[in-house]
Amino acid sequence: MNEKEVSRVQKRERMISILAWFRLSRFYNKSIRRSNQHLKKWGLSIAQFDILAQVGANERICQRDLAEKLLVTKGNMTHMLSKMEQLGWVQRKREWKTKYITLTEEGRILLDNVLPAQEQFQADQFGKLSIDEKKQLLFLLKKLQS
């Protein structure tokens, strides 16, 4: 291949990469919007659901670890937890310098009601893909992540 052909191939490859990023970004944004709409039935946002799910899966988690798992800032986490504490869904308990988060009974009941429906809702978003395509997608996303 001459220099001009190589340049053309590189431009095409870059454009395909950019298009892949746009499609992935659009799918993610649409999924978040749909999830927020779906979770409104329970008075939850996707961020609040993520907190309930993480705390519920861990029984008790420190606030710093929770923020890291959810990729949010310390300030955002504090704000969200304050609101959820006021709603009676979570409880914070300080042990020396560490704040631990647990679900209240009301939070546990809410999570138990929402989790199966939200899991099914998320699974349905991939309903157009065969099992092999889903496995391939997982493989490719993991490859991109590493």
3-145 has which CATH code? Answer: 1.10.10.10
- Token pair 């892949």 is at which residue? 20
Please check the confidence at residue 7 and state whether its pLDDT lies above 90: no
Give the CA angle between residues 62, 66, 70 to the nearest 5°: 175
For the chain, give the mean pLDDT: 91
Average of pLDDT values for 53-66? 90
pLDDT of residue 9: 79
Angle at which helices 3-39 and 105-124 cross, to 10°: 140
Average of pLDDT values for 63-84? 87
pLDDT tens-digit series, residues 109-119: 999 999 999 99
pLDDT of residue 122: 92
Position 75 confidence tier, pLDDT thresholds 50, 70, 90: confident
Q: Domain boundaries in the chain?
A: 3-145
C-alpha to C-alpha distance for 50 and 90, rounded to whole angstroms: 13
Position 11 confidence tier, pLDDT thresholds 50, 70, 90: confident
Please check the confidence at residue 2 and state whether its pLDDT lies above 80: no
What number of other Cβ atoms are within 10 A of residue 142's Cβ?
9
